[in-house]
Chains A and B, each alone.
Chain A
Amino acid sequence: KQEVTQIPAALSVPEGENLVLNCSFTDSAIYNLQWFRQDPGKGLTSLLLIQSSQREQTSGRLNASLDKSSGRSTLYIAASQPGDSATYLCAVESGTYKYIFGTGTRLKVLA
């Protein structure tokens, strides 16, 4: 059974810092991995989608990597800003479940 874990559960950093969020999954047989952000009380916004054949994806200040063999993905945020404050969720498309989500990392960027 696929399980997705995110570390840390919460993170508070000063503005301008580069940071890394971690996501691990137990079954390497995934179709893809997607990173989302969720603002309080809102739906999810897709940030990056990495197909199983890819190693990384970049969008602006965000870079996500995928290592299927070790069951890990990282989301790198460069030069963090207060507007980056949100909960970040990773999800894997695996088996018969559309997406299995991690529990998220709650990020707060202090001005």
Chain B
Amino acid sequence: KAGVTQTPRYLIKTRGQQVTLSCSPISGHRSVSWYQQTPGQGLQFLFEYFSETQRNKGNFPGRFSGRQFSNSRSEMNVSTLELGDSALYLCASSLAASEETQYFGPGTRLLVL
């Protein structure tokens, strides 16, 4: 069974631009969560989608948004990029919405110049 895939793997953008990252969960998984990982703040929860609905949201500004499609694939968008948005963005999928093992993708490394 294929694992969680994320595209692109690496991305360089400039301040003020916007970016869209994509995540394809493991087949059959309906929950997708997004995390931001930085050396200073560690791993922080962004949001979770289950069956195309946002279930939970972390403490991030409105510039960070996401969505989930009917095939469970998810995208996250960051508008008006700031230097501090440079990070590894990880997505994870699980079968159900809660109390299930989370499987992580390799991440998208975003560099904002």
Contacts and interface: CB of A to CB of B under 8 A. Distances in A.
A43 B102 CA distance: 12
B56 A96 contact: yes
Contacts of B57: 96
B106 A101 contact: no
Contacts of A32: 99
B16 to A, nearest CB: 27
Interface stretch (B42-50, B65-73, B75-83): B42-50
A93 B56 contact: no
The secondary structure that dominates the A interface is: strand
A86 interface: no
B99 A51 contact: yes
A45 B45 contact: no
Given A97-B45, A97-B56, A98-B48, A34 B107 contact: no
The secondary structure that dominates the B interface is: strand
Contacts of A63: none
Contacts, number: 52
A101 B42 contact: yes
A96 B58 CA distance: 8
27 contacts: A34-B102, A41-B109, A42-B107, A43-B4, A43-B104, A43-B105, A43-B107, A44-B92, A44-B104, A45-B104, A46-B101, A46-B102, A89-B43, A91-B43, A93-B98, A93-B99, A97-B45, A97-B56, A98-B33, A98-B45, A98-B48, A98-B56, A99-B35, A101-B35, A101-B42, A101-B43, A103-B42
Interface of B: 4, 33, 35, 42-45, 48, 56-58, 90, 92, 98-107, 109
